[in-house]
Structure 1
Amino acid sequence: MCASYDGLCGIGELAERAGVSVKTVRFYSDSGLLPEASRSAGGHRRYGPDSLERLRMIRSLRTMDLPVSAVRRILDEEETAGSPGSALEDAVAGQLRTLGSQLAALRWREAALRAVQECPAAERAGRLRLIGAVTAPPTTAPLARFWRGWLPPRMPARSVAAFLEAAVPQPPDDPDPVHVLAFARLCALVSGPCDGEERSRTQPHAHKEADARASAVLYAGLAEAYELAGAEMRHERGPYPGEALDGFVAAYASAHDTADTPGFRRVLARQLAADPRIDRYWELTAEVVSPPAGRPEPTPGSAHDWLLAALHTQSGTALPA
């Protein structure tokens, strides 16, 4: 590598050959990434024949923004095994995850800025405060907390997780200002003042009598019914008695340990019609998960309404005004 009699070169020559500054070589040496072969009589650093290739490898790894600790692990593995292996693979995968999160945050911020820019001037300050309360990239933690407080107590963790997966909308990877605004409004809705008494009033009466086991059965059955109803809604079919409605009623019947009879269906229809509702949550959820100019995606809330309408049609009870 070097023309000197001992095959070693100084820090200036090494830096010039690698196309980096002397300061950079010194930093890598002081960090333990680029060992010195020796020091001259005057105390100057001397580097061995392999230092140039090692320095080029360090520079390549650092160009990908890998931290010094990861670079050290890769170099140690290469020195031991003869080539980079799992350490390099793990570092690249980790960096890709980090970069993905950064890109998601940038896309969210861009859509958020457009949402502020595109609204009337008189509304910008209020919209900025609303959107600014949401992290970038956004977290669904406030929505999950809301539902954990809403669900019946002592439900099995697996049942809670399944319900949260259906009820908590995930913001799109490439959001539009409409998505950002709807998600911000959704977070504001669930984060507003709501004491235990108010929260309990939003819990449907048809759900309250079920114990932990029955609650798990109920919500599992409702999830299946909502999925079936959602498929009908995507085909633009209006509410009608069928498999989805049968599963919907069976979930309530099983939870209350009673038979699915015409009389039970009439009672259930009246009870569900009188229950408190959280329509605004589902309206905003549909805006979060649907294309801005496309057909709204079914949500558990809209699927519930479809099934309730089918139940009223079959039982002959009147829909609430």
Structure 2
Amino acid sequence: MNDRDQLLTIGQLADRTGLSVRTIRFWSDIDVIPPTCRSAGGYRLYDMEAVARLDLVRTLRELGLDLDTVQKVLTRQCTVADVARAHMRALDTQIRSLQLRRAVLRSIAYQGSTTEEMMLMHKLARLSAQERQRMIDDFVDRTFDGIDPQAPGARIATSMRQLPAELPDDPTPEQVEAWLELAELVGDASFQERVREMAVAGATPDAESGSQPYDPALVLEHAGRAVAAGISPESAEGRAILDQIVDPRLPARDRTRVADTVEMFTDHRVERYWQLMGVLNGRPPFPPSVSAFEWFIAALRVYLM
């Protein structure tokens, strides 16, 4: 008798595979690993192929497959590839659920949320991609209702309408947290009012009339440097920096007009909206700019002469 013809008892099979006798007997009872034959005394005997089958069963079980599915694989009712694809989808669903729970729990832990806030966050996190998209669309429609997207200067309305909020069904933890923050932001009535105020101002025919007496790139460069260095707009150094952005001879009336216009379109929450949408769309982050423009506004109001 060669090795292929050798018959093994359950005890010998357990020694070969490292599985317990109890486990092998159970799998044998439910025909996952049926015995090859029985001895004269009625004991189960297994051929060498049973060793390989047991190794496969153990691997499939460790991957989370139930015994019914294992049986189908062994009897070739389905392939291992079919089972792998099905379980991969199931695991993806479980991972998404765990990511959502983790994001909600972390937000609760850090923010000390109330029970009502916790329930709201959990509900928001479980929304489908289509439902999340609909919430953003509703916000844009409600905020920009009646504003012609083709009107001169209506850049905010146009951009927000056209920005594709491609929120995935399987978001990363960062995207989950961004969505929770964004959902809270677009649901804030004061934020809606602020964005509409900016949109209405930007949609007026005279919003972009006349030449712009400053270069936004210079604001980011010079005012941004002043913010980083902690230079006050009221200081002599601040005055010198402002002169690098606008013509020192610019009349007080024009400086006030520029300050009012820039202030109208400068808001940390609106900038945060774009940052969050960038996270949700998988776009690279952009450096914040609002602080630089706030410094520019303050400097313009200080030096009106």
What is the TM-score normalised by the length of structure 2? 0.46
Say which one has the larger Rg.
2
What is the TM-score normalised by the length of structure 1? 0.44
